[in-house]
Amino acid sequence: MTEQPTGTGTPADGGAVSPRDRMLADFRGHLIRRQLADSTVRSYLYGAGQFLDLYGTISYDNLKLYKCYLLEHYRPQTVNLRIRSMNCFLEFLHLTDLHMTMVHIQQKSFLENVISQADYEYLKRCLLRDGNRPYYFIIRVIATTGLRISELVRLQVEDVYRGYMDVYSKGNKSRRVYIPLQVRSECQNWLAREKRRKGFVFLNRFGDPLTPSGIRYQMRRFEGLYGLDASFLHPHSFRHLFAKKFIEICGDLSMLADILGHENIETTRIYLHRSPSEQKRLVNQIVKW
């Protein structure tokens, strides 16, 4: 394999762009055409740009060096994210004889940081009491649909009235997420009082759509406001709660995987396991000898 040059020489014309920047701009266009999420586009561009800045030239040896660099500086989940970025970049460049292998991550046999049903009910009551309808419905919708926070912020008023949201993900894949009748009815009443019939459901005080980072920040404030454990106050905790309750009541792992948008059912299988606190409680109840 001949090394792929990615020269970064300074252009003679101040208006020109370097080969590196041109390549990344073309890669960005490729990712957008594939309809990847904005966060994925940014992540993949960062990974490709980081490699080019470190090594400048794409070769088998440099890819090995990059993997070693990643293992020394990042957690395994981040290492695999950067490797996915590079494999997508290599595919874009038609360098089919080069491929980076992912690192193996030991699958946990239990769930961590899942909000309890009691704390969930308590938080709902507190938010209603304080008139915080937007965040009341944010946690309600996640906990009753399993939407990711990146998907929730795209929820439209029209979706609420229709009763479902069509979610599009990488590879032009889509799934339909239904909003349970009770939540849908409550949310419609709230939106009607707000005289809103279209647009994004969750807005900030300026009328712009809330962002995932903004929601995460606000949720962390509930620790001080309501005396809750901060480790449970993140959007994914409510998604976990949905999955955990769904599998307890329904038991259909395949259906849950479809609802959550998991490509691999093994990812969903973790919801069959007990949390550490549940394991401790059951052991104390059962073991009497």
Q: Is the pLDDT of residue 192 over 50?
A: yes
- pLDDT of amino acid 7: 45
- pLDDT of amino acid 111: 57
Q: Tell me how far apart the alpha carbons of residues 168 and 176 are, in angstroms, rounded to a whole number.
A: 9
- Residues with Cβ within 8 Å of 64's Cβ and at least 6 positions away in sequence, in order, are none
Catalytic, out of 22, 236, 280, 281: 236
**Does the annotation count 30 as an active-site position?**
no
Q: What is the pTM of this model?
A: 0.59
Q: Which residues pair with 166 in a beta bridge?
A: 176
**Does the annotation count 271 as an active-site position?**
yes
Catalytic, out of 140, 239, 240, 244: 239
Catalytic, out of 67, 140, 148, 240: 148
What amino acid is encoded at 254 in this protein? S
Give all domains of the chain, ordered by start, each with its CATH number: 1-106 (1.10.150.130), 117-276 (1.10.443.10)
> Which residue carries 């440099």 as its tokens?
62
Under the banding of pLDDT at 50, 70 and 90, the label for residue 173 is: confident
Catalytic, out of 66, 120, 136, 271: 271
- pLDDT of amino acid 109: 45
Helices (H) and strands (E) in the chain, counts: 14, 2
Dump pLDDT digits (tens) for 217-275.
999 999 889 998 888 888 988 988 888 888 878 777 788 887 788 777 766 666 666 56
Contact 190, 137 (CB under 8 A): yes
Q: Tell me how far apart the alpha carbons of residues 171 and 150 are, in angstroms, rounded to a whole number.
A: 17
**Does the annotation count 236 as an active-site position?**
yes
Q: Is the pLDDT of residue 13 over 80?
A: no
Residue bearing the bigger pLDDT, 278 or 98: 98
Under the banding of pLDDT at 50, 70 and 90, the label for residue 64 is: very high
Dump pLDDT digits (tens) for 101-158.
988 765 554 456 678 888 999 999 999 999 999 999 999 999 999 899 999 999 999 9
Determine what percent of the chain falls in helix, strand and coil, rounding each to the nearest 5. 60, 5, 35
Average pLDDT, integer, range 166-193: 86
Produce one character per residue of 144-168: b if its CB has 16 or more CB atoms within 10 Å, e if not: bbbbbbbbbbbbebebbeeeebebe
C-alpha angle 107-35-137 in degrees, rounded to nearest 5: 70
Catalytic, out of 28, 262, 269, 273: 262
- pLDDT of amino acid 9: 43
SS3 164: strand
**Does the annotation count 104 as an active-site position?**
no
Average pLDDT, integer, range 69-73: 89
Among the listed residues 134, 114, 131, the one whose alpha carbon sits nearest the alpha carbon of residue 214:
134
